[in-house]
Structure formats: C-alpha cells, structure tokens
Chains A and B, each alone.
Chain A
Amino acid sequence: MIEESVESRFIIGFTEEQKVIRDTIKDYADHVIRPKVMEFDEAQEFPLAILKELGEMGFMGILIPEQYGGSGLGYVEYALIIEELAKVDPSIALSVAAHNGLCTNHLYLFGNEEQREKYLPDLASGRVIGAWGLTEPFSGSDAAAMKTTAVKESGAWMVNGSKNFITHGTYADTSVILAITNKEKGKKGISAFIAGRNYDGYSASKKENKLGMRASDTAQLSFMNLRLPEENLLGNEGEGFIQAMKVLEGGRISIAALSCGLAQGALDASLKYSSERVQFGKSINSFQGIQFKLADMETNINAARLLTYQAAVAKDNGQPIHDIAPKAKLFASEIAEKAASEAVQIFGGYGFTKDYPVEKFYRDVKLLTIGEGTSEVQRIVIARNLAQE
C-alpha cells in the first residue's frame, strides 16, 4: 500500500526494469535482512555473508560495466537500491554504498585498462570487499591536510601514515588510498594508489565502537613502510585529490538516497505504530499533533527524493552534478535526521527502547549529516557555486 502511494505521488517515472530491480532488493531486504537487523547491530557484526550474496545478485558492482563483471546500471538504479536497503537497514545500505560508490567506482573511473581488468571483476561480484581511504586522524573536512606520504623509491612507492574511519577497513582486501607525493604542490601533490591487505606494511586496526551504523565495519588503516608497486598509482601523479572529489560528488547521491530510505523507514514504522497505538480512546494518528508530524515527514521525504533523483538523472545524462548533488545530500540527510527524531517522539517511551525499529534509525541517521562531506561542507560548496554564478 505504502509502495503504491510512493509511486503515484512521484513525478519521475521508473522503467519496468528499474521497478523490478527495486522490488527484488526490497523483497530481499524484507525477508533476509530485516529479521537480523538488531542482531547485527547489537553485536556490531559485519554481515559478510549478506554482502557476498548481494554480490552474487549483482548489487556490489551496480555502476560497473558488464565487461568488468558489473551490472552496468546507472545512478537512478543505484539510488533505488540504496534507498530500499536503507528502509530496512541503513548500515548495510552504507556498506553497499561505500563498496560500490567509493573504492570500486574510483578504480573504474580512474584506473587504466590493466587495473580495471585486474581488480574490478572481484570487486563488482563482491568476491572482494573494497575500502577507500581519504580521511585521517587529523584531516576530515580539510582532506588536503593529510599527512600520509608516498615516496618513490627504486621503482616502487613507499607509503607511510594512517587513515581513519575507513568503512570496511577490517574486511577489505582491496583499497584505494590517497597520499601526498609532493608536499609543495598542496592539493595537486596528492595521488591515489591501489593498496590492500596482501602488502607488507599494511594493517587494519582499532575497529570503531560506534553510535550507529554498527553493522558497517569502520576501522583505522596504518601504513608502515608499505611498499606498493609503481603500477598501483591510479591515474597520473598529483591527480588524486581531484579524483577523490569526483568520487565524492557521486557519493553524495548515494548518501542522499540512503537518507531518503532511512526517513521512509522511520515514516513507515510511524504510520503503522500511530494507527495501532490507542490513547484517550483513539488511535494516536487521529490527533493533529501526530498528523502534523507525519505530514511533515512525508512532505520532506517527497522533496528529498525529488532532489536525489534529479541529481541521479542528471548524472546518468552526463550533466554536471556539482551543484545539485550537494543540495540533495544536505537536504535529504537533514530531513532524515528530523524524521528519525520525530519517529521516536511518535513512539514515545517505546521509541526509546530497542524493541522498535525507530531507535536504530535515530542512532544511524547521525552519520548521514557527517559522512562523505558534512552538512557544513555541503553548504560551503553550495554557497561557493552561488558565488560563481
């Protein structure tokens, strides 16, 4: 019923295939993931088996062309998939987004033919989990202030430093990392490399104990005299930072979609609960105090989806998204935070317990205004774009 109303009130028409893909991942999320959501969350267990299964189904190489073992789809399908996963478990949605949108996509966009053929088939099929390392303990929003260095030494790159808050840090066999190759050149002195657990000097440590998104693995990567072959450089020397910004630009669409899904999950749970919960002799959804909350959530989600799919459609059409993607990410993540908070309010005391799903949405949602560019950074980008117009 809910699905039907989403369809009829949404102005972007989806194709038959897009709907079947959406229904398939929805079915999988409802039947395979939903029963285990709290189990993964409480134990902070990384659901490797689920990611492998999603890989077999083609959901770990969504944007990668079929010739490299991917599914060859676009950002609209990508957003639909992330959205459906996030309605049920935002942390699995985050894992799928990080794997597809960051590591795998970086390798696809900037890898040469040899690198693509070597790494993409394993990543796109989920046989190998990927990580992407930009953030460091002392550089977050100011990514260019990173300290990790890569020095060319007798035909190899010697990498030293560390990366922080890395999704799949512990489980990833392959990663893309950024390091300074020429300190004097600032942003233009940063390069991207293919790294991984199979290299000496590469280690993952300190799995973070997080507020939310607890099923998603987040760890620190340390490089101590990590020796990477010369051919592991991605693109040209000094292009790493601009590559990373391009990767993050597409990543914003996926976080926006994740936010829409999480907010919809919170609304769906609220609709159900408020129709069943009786106070003062009536279901609480007959009170305007509750109705207004539901109406605001619905309206905001609708607006956020329009921004998100506008960005996704633009990206698929090859149009620039530097302007629209930050708006989608900013708006969707902030309305999701509001929706999760209101959902807990609607559930009252029960919303504060782990017996109902909104408690987890409330914890998970905070990552969305922080990860892949904070709300503040999105606003800076949007304002900068305005100034340039």
Chain B
Amino acid sequence: MNIAVCVSHVPDTTTKIRIAADKQNIEQQGVSYILNPYDEFAIEEALKLKEKNGGEVVVISAGGETSKETIRKALAMGADRGVLLKTNGFVDSISLAKALAEEIKSNGSEIVLMGKQSIDYDNSITAQAAAEILGYGCVTVCVDLKIDGTKVIAEREIEGGREVVETSLPVVISAQKGLNNPRYPAIKGIMEAKRKPIAEKDAALGKVHTVLSELKLPSAKNPGRIIGTDSSAVPELVRLLREEAKVI
C-alpha cells in the first residue's frame, strides 16, 4: 500500500502574531513552528494503515527550507521518506493542491491523508481540491477510517452527529481530531529520521489563482465588564446576556 501524507509547517498555536512591515508575512522573531496539529492525525492514521497492511508512507510538504523540520518530525514518527516541494512566499490553496496532486500522481499513492485544515491559513480546501485534480474520491473531516481491500468506510463529523460514508480507493482523506491519538516520536525514530531521505523539487504550482493583498490583525476585543460582585447583580447580568449579547 502506497500512502501519501501531506503536511504543513505552521506557527505554534501559542504564537502571538505580529504582522511584518510588508503586510505579507508575520514577524518571524520569537515564532516557533510546529507540524500542523491536524496533520498529526493524518500521519498516525497512515502509520496504522502501514503497520496493518505494509507499504510505504511518503510525507509531502510544500514550503521553504524550514519545512524540512516538520517533514523530519513525521519521519521520526515512522514515515519512510519525505518530499519537499519548494515554494516561496504565499501560495493559494488551489495552486498548492495542484502541486501536491502532481507529486502524488508521480508517486502513485492510492491513499492520501492530510489534516482537515492547516492552522495558519485555515482554508480547509486543499484535500478536496487535490482529490478533484487527481480524480480521486474524497472524505473530509474524517473521525474513523476503515480500509478493506479497495473498499473505504469512513465516518465524518457533522453538526450534532456523525455521517458514515462509503467509497473506494484511490481516495483523499482529511483528518479531524478524534480520528486517533497521534504517537510521540521515540528516540529511535528521531535518530533514524536523520538517515531517511528528503527529496527536494520545485513545486509545480502552475497558474496563480489568488494573490495575497494584505494581512490584518482582528480588531481588539472590548475589555470585560464587571456588573456586580454578589447575587444582586444577577438580574442585570441576565438582562444584558439576553438583550445586549443575545446569547440566552
């Protein structure tokens, strides 16, 4: 079984974002990067499939030189080899999906896994777009996956419940929290990762679909208000929650 996992190198969730002077980037100083948390579920699922059925897990990431750190983390968890599709600056999701699809096609992967979204740009579109370009089936927001031969039975998270869907290989799956518990890399895996190959090539992005005009910070939140400190404040609190905040 030939499995591809697409991963993103993203700023840590605790990063305090500051926008750089060019308004195209965030300030890099003091920012640490991590493997996109949703991609961890994708890697874990790929490794479980490999442990069950054999095969190879290839990790693909589009980005700059530093994205190799994230590829190495996936290799440390147990993936077999990495591919870095080199890009420079902002890449729109459709172009990204095209570049990933090119690589997946040349690799012949029949199962493609990735996080349901990357926590930096939050587009939640790459999996669907890549599936469309490849002509593969697609299951998004997946929380349970069973593959038997070429038959794929997956559960998706939907509002208030789950949806069970069936499709067949080849398929692109986007992973949601709950799919599994991602493993921590073992020291052995970390040491082996440095000996695993990472191929580098230019990303085949093709036509540019969307350009980044400007990054902006959200407007500052209003400070909290203290209505009172004892039970006499409750009626006013209820009134405000109902009439002003309109949450009850």
**A21 and B32 contact, Cβ closer than 8 Å, known pairs A1-B16, A57-B184:** no
Chain B nearest CB: distance from A72 CB in Å?
A: 8
Query: A58 and B32: CB pair below 8 A?
Result: no
Partner of A20 from the list B14, B30, B31, B76 (CB cut-off 8 Å) is B76
Which of B90-98, B133-141, B188-196, B226-234 participates in binding chain A? Answer: B188-196
Beyond A4-B30, A20-B72, A20-B76, whether A59 also contacts B187 by CB under 8 A is yes
Besides A4-B30, A58-B187, 8 other CB < 8 A contacts?
A1-B30, A16-B69, A20-B73, A24-B185, A27-B184, A57-B186, A66-B188, A71-B187
The answer to whether residues A71 and B188 also contact, given A16-B194, A20-B72 and a CB cut-off of 8 A, is yes
The count of residues in chain B whose C-beta lies closer than 8 Å to any C-beta of chain A is: 18
Chain B's closest residue to A62 (CB) is B187
Enumerate chain A residues within 8 angstroms of B31, measured Cβ to Cβ: 4
**Contact of A4 with B32 in the complex, beta carbons under 8 Å:** yes
A 1-33 to B, binary, CB cutoff 8 A, 1 in contact else 0:
101110000000000110011001001100000
Which B residues, 65 to 92, have Cβ-Cβ distances below 8 Å to chain A? Answer: 69, 72-73, 76
Minimum CB distance partner of A28 in chain B: B184
B208-236 toward A: CB 8 Å interface, digit per residue (1/0)?
Answer: 00000000000000000000000000000
Chain B residues with CB under 8 A of A24 = 76, 184-185, 190
A72 to B190 alpha-carbon distance, docked (Å): 12
Q: Does A73 contact B (CB under 8 A)?
A: yes
Interface pairs (14), CB distance under 8 Å: A1-B30, A17-B194, A20-B76, A20-B190, A21-B187, A24-B76, A24-B185, A57-B185, A57-B186, A58-B188, A62-B187, A66-B188, A71-B187, A73-B187
Inter-chain CB contacts under 8 Å: number: 44
- Shortest CB–CB separation between residue A48 and chain B, in angstroms? 18
Q: Which residues of chain B have C-beta atoms less than 8 A from A28's C-beta?
A: 184
List residues of chain A with CB under 8 Å of any chain B CB.
1, 3-5, 16-17, 20-21, 24, 27-28, 56-59, 62, 66, 71-73
Closest Cβ–Cβ distance, residue A164 to chain B (whole Å): 33
User: With A and B bound together, what is the CA distance between A56 and B185 in angstroms?
Assistant: 10
Mask of B170-202 contacts with A, CB within 8 angstroms, 1/0: 000000000000001111101101100000000
Known: A24-B185, A27-B184, A28-B184. A17 touches B190 (CB 8 A): yes
- The verdict on A17 contacting B184 (CB below 8 Å), with A1-B30, A3-B32 known, is no
What residues of B have a CB within 8 angstroms of the CB of A73 in the complex? 187
Whole-angstrom CA separation of A21 from B72 in the bound complex = 12
**Cβ contact within 8 Å between A20 and B185:** yes
Across the two chains, which residue of chain B brings its CB closest to A53? B184
Of listed B16, B69, B190, residue having the most chain A CB within 10 A? B190
Q: A70: shortest Cβ distance to chain B, in Å? A: 9
With the chains together, A71 CA to B16 CA distance in Å?
36
Nearest opposing residue in chain A for B193, CB measure: A20
Look across to chain A and name the residue whose beta carbon is closest to the beta carbon of B29: A4
Instruction: Say how far B195's CB is from chain A's closest CB, in angstroms.
Output: 11
CB B36 to nearest CB in A, in angstroms, measures: 14
Nearest A residue (CB) for B77: A24
A17 to B187, CA, bound (A): 9
Q: How far is the CB of A271 from chain B (nearest CB, A)?
A: 14
Residues of A within 8 A of B194 (CB): 16-17
In the complex, what residues of A have CB within 8 A of residue B190's CB?
17, 20-21, 24
Bound complex: CA A16 to CA B191 (Å): 10
Give CA–CA (A24, B32) in the complex, Å.
14
Residues of A within 8 A of B187 (CB): 21, 57-59, 62, 71, 73
Max chain B C-beta neighbours (<10 A), residue from A3, A5, A17, A73:
A17
Residues of B within 8 A of A27 (CB): 184
A71 to B190, CA, bound (A): 10
Closest to A31 in B: B184
Complex interface bits, B116-128 against A, C-beta within 8 A gives 1, otherwise 0: 0000000000000
A4 and chain B: residue at smallest CB distance: B30
B16 CB contacts on chain A under 8 angstroms: 1
For B184, list chain A residues within 8 Å (CB).
Answer: 24, 27-28, 57
Say how far A83's CB is from chain B's closest CB, in angstroms. 16
Complex interface: chain B residues within 8 A of A16 (CB): 69, 72, 194
B70 to chain A, nearest CB (A): 11
Beta-carbon nearest neighbor of B76 in chain A: A20
Q: How far is the CA of A212 from the CA of B30 in the complex (A)?
A: 35
Q: Can you name the residue of chain A whose Cβ is closest to the Cβ of B194?
A: A17
Q: Which residue of B lies closest to A57 (CB)?
A: B186
Most buried by A among B186, B193, B194: B186
Whether the pair A56, B73 counts as a contact (CB closer than 8 A) is no
Which 5 A-B pairs have CB atoms at the shortest separation, nearest pair first? A58-B187, A71-B187, A57-B186, A58-B186, A20-B190
Smallest Cβ-Cβ distance to A55: which chain B residue: B186
